[in-house]
């Protein structure tokens, strides 16, 4: 185990692969980096000094291109479930930093995205989305809030597309989904039921677990990760495995071995948001 670096808590602007970003740090050594492009958390290092998010070494960092790894913000469309670009537009737009706070025990930042000519051209709704990231010791809280600032209701799907870093995916298991029904995207979206106490990673997985309300545990031989969600009713579990990973030009061929996506999501039933109302969803991860 690495010894954490201690010092002053801070929230500072940095350059991350050519993109403006915010680096958060706490006095006991926890760190996080969020790019303003996409409001994407690209690094989370708890006090034990070990990176908890996977970021592909082949990821692109240019305008209009999705960053492969970290925690992309999926809004207002998950995957290809509608007419918008895959996973919507929030992850490929510039957000604005509206606040950053730090005390001895924690540090946080909030970023905002509002409707514009570019968003209204493909999704004709007025909205404000805010993403807040907070780190504290071995804990990460990431919250997405959406406000309907228009005169008519709209519907959306969303997710926090969390790429968690693991030593070896085939040595991991995910606990807490026993008995939950899921859509199996590797089998044409067939509805199935999870009947095992722990999900293992030995093949391609692309599943949307519906109404998955229990806390989850991502287990590794040397460390674990507790994952809980509020406001997001569903959980997406994804790993492209060998064949599909080899076809991805922004992932190394063996990248699938080093990541597992466990995503807080609102996918099964789109969120219906009346005019003037707000919705929020939060994901909490604790490194154990």
Structure confidence by residue, pLDDT tens digits, 217-260: 999 999 999 999 999 999 999 999 999 999 999 999 999 999 99
Per the domain annotation, does 2 fall within a domain?
A: no
**In which residue are the tokens 């706070």 written?**
101
220 annotated active-site = no
The residue-averaged pLDDT of 47-60 equals 97
Q: Is the pLDDT of residue 11 over 90?
A: no
- Compute the mean pLDDT over every residue in the chain, rounded to the nearest whole number: 95
Cα–Cα nearest to 287, from 31, 4, 47, 28? 47
Per the domain annotation, does 158 fall within a domain?
A: yes
Task: Please state, in angstroms and rounded to a whole number, the distance separating the CA atoms of residues 164 and 183.
Answer: 21
Per the domain annotation, does 3 fall within a domain?
A: no
Per the domain annotation, does 78 fall within a domain?
A: yes
Q: Is the pLDDT of residue 4 over 80?
A: no
| pLDDT digit string, tens, across residues 81-137 | 899 999 999 999 999 999 998 887 899 999 999 999 999 999 999 999 999 999 999
Pick the catalytic residue from 87, 102, 125, 161.
161
Q: Residue 3's pLDDT is what?
A: 37
Q: pLDDT tier at 1 (50, 70, 90 boundaries)?
A: very low
87 annotated active-site = no
Domain that holds residue 183: 10-287
Q: Is the pLDDT of residue 25 over 60?
A: yes
Per the domain annotation, does 228 fall within a domain?
A: yes
Per the domain annotation, does 5 fall within a domain?
A: no
Q: Residue 70's pLDDT is what?
A: 98
Task: Please state, in angstroms and rounded to a whole number, the distance separating the CA atoms of residues 125 and 92.
Answer: 18
Q: What is the CATH number of the domain that holds 24?
A: 2.70.98.10
Per the domain annotation, does 162 fall within a domain?
A: yes
Q: pLDDT tier at 10 (50, 70, 90 boundaries)?
A: confident
What is the pTM for the complete model shown?
0.95
Per the domain annotation, does 156 fall within a domain?
A: yes
Q: Is the pLDDT of residue 44 over 80?
A: yes
Partners of 279 in the β-ladder: 146
Q: Residue 6's pLDDT is what?
A: 53
**Based on the structure, what is the number of domains in the chain?**
1
Residue 150 gets the label, from left (phi > 0), alpha (psi -120 to 50) or beta, of beta
CA angle, 243 as apex, 159 and 237 as ends, to 5°?
25
């Amino acid at each position: 185990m690495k010894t954490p670096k201690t010092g002053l808590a801070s929230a500072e602007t940095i350059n991350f692969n050519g993109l403006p970003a915010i680096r958060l740090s706490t006095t006991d050594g926890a760190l996080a980096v969020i790019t303003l492009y996409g409001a994407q958390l690209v690094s989370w290092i708890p006090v034990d000094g070990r990176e908890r998010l996977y970021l592909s070494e082949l990821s692109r960092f240019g305008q209009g291109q999705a960053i492969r790894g970290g925690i992309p913000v999926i809004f207002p469309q998950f995957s290809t479930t509608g007419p918008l670009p895959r996973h919507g537009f929030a992850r490929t737009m510039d957000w604005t930093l509206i606040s950053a706070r730090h005390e001895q025990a924690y540090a946080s930042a909030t970023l905002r995205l509002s409707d514009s000519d570019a968003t209204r051209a493909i999704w004709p709704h007025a909205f404000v989305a805010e993403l807040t990231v907070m780190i504290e010791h071995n804990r990460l809280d990431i919250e997405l809030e959406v406000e309907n600032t228009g005169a008519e209701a709209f519907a959306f799907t969303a997710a926090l597309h969390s790429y968690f870093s693991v030593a070896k995916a085939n040595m991991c298991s995910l606990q807490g989904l026993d008995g939950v029904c899921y859509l199996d995207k590797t089998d044409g979206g067939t509805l199935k039921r999870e009947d095992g106490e722990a999900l293992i990673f030995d093949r391609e997985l692309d599943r949307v677990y519906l109404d998955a309300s229990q806390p989850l545990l991502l287990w590794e031989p040397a460390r674990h990760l507790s994952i809980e969600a509020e406001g997001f009713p569903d959980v997406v579990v994804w790993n492209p495995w060998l064949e599909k990973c080899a076809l991805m030009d922004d992932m190394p061929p063996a990248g699938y071995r080093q990541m597992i996506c466990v995503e807080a999501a609102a996918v099964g039933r789109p969120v219906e948001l009346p005019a003037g109302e707000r919705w929020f969803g939060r994901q909490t991860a604790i490194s154990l």
